[in-house]
Structure 1
Amino acid sequence: MSGRQLKYRFTPLAFHYLLSITVLLLSSCARPGVPKDTSTSGSISIAADYEYQPVTQAEIEVFQALYHNASLKPVFATEDSAFQLLMADSVRLVIASRKLLPSEENYFHTLKLYPEQMKVATDALALIVNKENTDTLLTLNRLKAIFGGQDSIWRHQTDVSGSHPKKSSPDISPERMSIVFDYANSGSSRYILQNLAGAKKLPDYCYALHGNTEVIEYVSKNKNAMGVIGINWISNVYDTSVIRHMNDITVIAVAKKDAPSPGDYFKPGIENILYGNYPLCRDMYIVSREAYTGLGSGFFSFVTSNRGQRIIYRDGLAPVTAISHTISY
């Protein structure tokens, strides 16, 4: 060829061809459908029952400190709301005091999803009263009468038998109870309904407030109040706010026997949970809808690991795996 330069005409057809190639290449690079997170990196939302907020936050803080590229965004909600978020694919996993209901499992199966569910701890419900209340030893049968609507009167007396005193007794100061829960449709209200109330609804002297902290504050200011809270809110002895709360309330001791001796009453401490002495215990679960090994799976594995179980123990819950009593990180 001579020194002539070749000239190309940029036709509309060539433009559309190049545009198509560009879109194809970009689509290939983006790889839609490929997870954006791994077991130790990425960003996801998870849900937890309000009752497990302290331990959930503790687990997240340590996990994110270990894996700097991981971001877990917690949504704290009532138990029912947490599972609704899971079913709507708004969160990757749930921490709650129950597994999926059969209807919820069936829903996931229609989506070809088979959620993983695992018990990660045992906790308990704590019954708290005002410091001035002296009726602090209750039998399981009396609790059933209280939540079943048959007994709503405090009995401030020295008798620890749990039996109904005579009305003529001079040391009785009958006062009607006011029982408060953290939220309506919470895990604690469901537990009481299923295990103690023996009815479809709680009696009219039971009320729902707006959180465990509000329950504690209400009880500390009202002599006739009894609060039902997750033990996690008062079990971490390293938390200064817990120490402050404990100065304002008394935790009720509960006996399984109908005619107990003083040694048959137990409070919901970790040893009494581990050995089954305290009757109002329940399991804590993680339920994950994740269909691959992503950040949800990584956090799931962390909570069930030795380090994650140590955090549970430190927060006053009973871990599912044996750990040393020496807490270190």
Structure 2
Amino acid sequence: MRVNDTTQLMSKLARMRFKNQLIALSLGTLSLASCGEDKSVPKETDTPTSGVLKMVVDETYKPVIEEEVKVFMSNYPDAKIEVSYKPEAEAIQDYLAGKTKLIVVSRKLTEKEEQYCLNNKNVPSSLELAKDAVALVCNKDAKDTAFSILELKGIIAGESQKKYTIVFDNAGSSTLRFITDSVMGGQKTGKNLYAVKGNQQVIDYVKKNPEALGFVGLSFVTDTMDSTAERFSTSIKVASVYSDTMQEYYQPYQADIALKHYPLVRKMTYIKNETYQGLATGFSNFMASDIGQMIMGKERLVPLRMSIVVREAEINTKK
């Protein structure tokens, strides 16, 4: 959602509702704490709607988090949120090192990471905010635009008869980790994999190379300027991926992500370390509020903290 469109949603009634939700959500997120008690004492200026927050976000989620921050700060001018966009691996390392109170990534902490928190009297809590998808992009002139998971495994392993160049956004990215874990299942990858420096660089590479396939976050290929229908970027092609369950090919449209038809789905999650009512709590609760979830929906993610209804529709072609 663009800023001008979104801010129109910010009526006085919506802001009052968010403040009420803030209290309820704070109690819920505090109950998720899994490590020792945080002994830090907040400054008086650090409240749910004021102060300075330095957060780190998986760069895959840059488009949606930029909108969340803009809307939040436009309604709470005493709040300043500074965001560093990094590969997921670096975001989690910053969190474990105590460099930030809040991160947004595509997974929860592992048992080993939670144990590290215990040992350092950290207090992590997490919440899944939305379903996200990994999109497979092809050159506009590509003839092959539909793949099964089995085909993708062979291509990524370097065993396909057709030699593709596979491009990822970063060596430490959530996208590479997701594909390695969920598609490859720990199987070794081939020598045809390359990492660039961000999702946009993946798209730029694919645009120039007909034999390239790229994996990017959904937000980087959706046209959010279109408020009436879901459209993908016209500069590349978004491939279809076969669903073994449905026995059909699907693209990462919002409805097919919600219904679990598209197979390359993950979840956007926040992890925070704050046991008092500070700005990290305020902004994380905002993302889980109705307004924050609406922004995610407009960015073509599937909100997990508000009810959505997916209806089938028939197009009448008769005149």
TM-score, normalisation: structure 2? 0.79
Q: Within the alignment, does 1:265 sit opposite 2:252 as a pair?
A: no
Distance 1:109 1:72 in 2: 27
Residue 180 (structure 2) aligned to one of 193, 202, 213: 193
Q: Within the alignment, does 1:256 sit opposite 2:243 as a pair?
A: yes
Identity over aligned residues, as a percent? 34
Q: State the match for 2:48 in structure 1.
A: 39
Distance 2:279 2:160 in 1: 49
Residue 192 (structure 2) aligned to one of 194, 205, 220: 205
What code does the residue aligned with 1:72 have? I
Q: Which piece of structure 1 moves more, 116-125 or 103-112?
A: 103-112
Residue 306 (structure 1) aligned to one of 290, 294, 300: 290
What code does the residue aligned with 1:322 have? S
Q: State the match for 2:66 in structure 1.
A: 57
Q: Within the alignment, does 1:182 sit opposite 2:166 as a pair?
A: no
Change in 2 beyond 3 A, CA 1:198/1:324: closer
Q: Tell me, what secondary structure is at the counterpart of 2:221?
A: helix
Quote the offset at 1:145 in angstroms: 1.8
Q: Within the alignment, does 1:282 sit opposite 2:291 as a pair?
A: no
Q: State the match for 1:7 in structure 2.
A: none
Q: Within the alignment, does 1:238 sit opposite 2:225 as a pair?
A: yes
Q: Which ranges in structure 2 are unaligned for 5 or more consecutive residues?
A: 1-39, 311-319
Q: Tell me, what secondary structure is at the counterpart of 2:84?
A: strand
Q: State the match for 1:85 in structure 2.
A: 94
Q: Tell me, what secondary structure is at the counterpart of 1:246?
A: coil
Quote the offset at 1:323 in angstroms: 4.8
The two structures, once aligned, show a CA RMSD in angstroms of: 2.3
Residue 142 (structure 1) aligned to one of 135, 151, 157: 151
Q: State the match for 1:322 in structure 2.
A: 307
What code does the residue aligned with 2:215 have? V
1:189-232 CA distance string (max 9 Å, x none): 00111111234542110100011111111101110000100101
Change in 2 beyond 3 A, CA 1:306/1:236: farther
Quote the offset at 1:258 in angstroms: 9.5
Distance 1:323 1:129 in 2: 31
Distance 2:161 2:76 in 1: 51
Larger radius of gyration: 1
Distance 1:274 1:258 in 2: 15
Distance 2:76 2:65 in 1: 16
Quote the offset at 1:322 in angstroms: 1.5
Q: Tell me, what secondary structure is at the counterpart of 1:100?
A: coil
Q: State the match for 1:161 in structure 2.
A: none
1:180–1:215 CA contact under 8 A, matched in 2? yes
Q: Within the alignment, does 1:247 sit opposite 2:231 as a pair?
A: no
How many residues matched?
A: 267
1:132–1:223 CA contact under 8 A, matched in 2? yes
Change in 2 beyond 3 A, CA 1:324/1:245: closer
1:148–1:198 CA contact under 8 A, matched in 2? no
